[in-house]
Amino acid sequence: MQPVLRDLWFRDIGQRGKVIYMRVFQVDSFTDELFKGNPAGVCMFVSKESDRWMQNMAGEMNLSETAFLREVKEGYELRWFTPATEVDLCGHATLAAAHALWETGELDVDQEAKFFTKSGVLKATKMGDWVQLDFPLEEDEPVHPPQELVDGLKAPFTYVGKNRMDYIVEVESEAILRQLRPDKDALCKLANRGIIVTCKSERDKFDFISRFFAPALGIDEDPVTGSAHCCLGPYWKRKLKEDEFVAYQASERGGILKLRVDDRVYIRGQARTVFGGEVRL
């Protein structure tokens, strides 16, 4: 970002008489191009704002996730809201939040971003043009597919598993994955966050591809889902006997993720700020 533009955005922000303003950004995550990847909102910084206010703000942003940051002693409290509800884990909005902290100068580029969340302590490190997220493993176990899942996907699959948040479904080919047109009303009946659909990539540049659907959260299809790769990483590690991957999420906007799977999942992605401004509180 040009320093002059940054000064223009952020001058005089704070208390103006009796009116308080909050900085807000929209960031495209898991992409190096504007208008690709997954857009997330970032609000810096909440203090006494209520859960209802944050939910309303996420509805106003109308993005798959909006991140809310609050400064604490050793880092930042981080919460994520869809337009419909709060969620326990979100990758692309965490990436967006870390990107915003470095880009605005709240953190120096050599400083680690440390977030306290409903899924424990998450960390982000800047690595040149990439950001690496340190996230928990969210491994699945095989399950019998519920009828709502069968009716909702309307496609043949070779495996169904489930973790604490999502179903994971493997299909035979990219053609099947890309042509999916799920029945969102059927999927809404499932008592979980979302549905990950994946297959081995047929292109040499990627190891596997995926799509993610979460209509129960108000997200018919999420463009790029970092947290889904907390399940996809260990899943493909078991299948391919590898621990490093380049993954592609095959939504309309699309996004690229680099993964390393150990006792944690290390997810790398890029991000671009679309705009920044202020919200009157």
Let me know: does 245 contact 235? Beta carbons within 8 Å. no
Q: How far lies 26's CA from each of 12, 40, 42, 276, in Å?
A: 20, 6, 6, 6
**Residues forming beta bridges with residue 275, ordered by sequence position:** 26
DSSP single-letter state for residue 217: G
Structure tokens at 228: 């889904």
Which entry of 33, 65, 77, 138 is annotated as an active-site residue? Answer: 65
**Residues forming beta bridges with residue 212, ordered by sequence position:** 196, 222
CA dihedral (229, 230, 232, 234) positive or negative: positive
DSSP H or E segment with residue 56: helix 51-61
Let me know: does 267 contact 91? Beta carbons within 8 Å. yes
CA distance 150 to 18: 56
Structure tokens at 136: 């928990």
Structure tokens at 193: 């966050």
Q: Is 252 a catalytic residue?
A: no
Contacts of 8 (CB under 8 A, 6+ apart): none
CA 49 to chain centre: 23
Contacts of 2 (CB under 8 A, 6+ apart): none
CA distance 131 to 103: 12
CA distance 98 to 123: 9
Residues marked as catalytic: 65
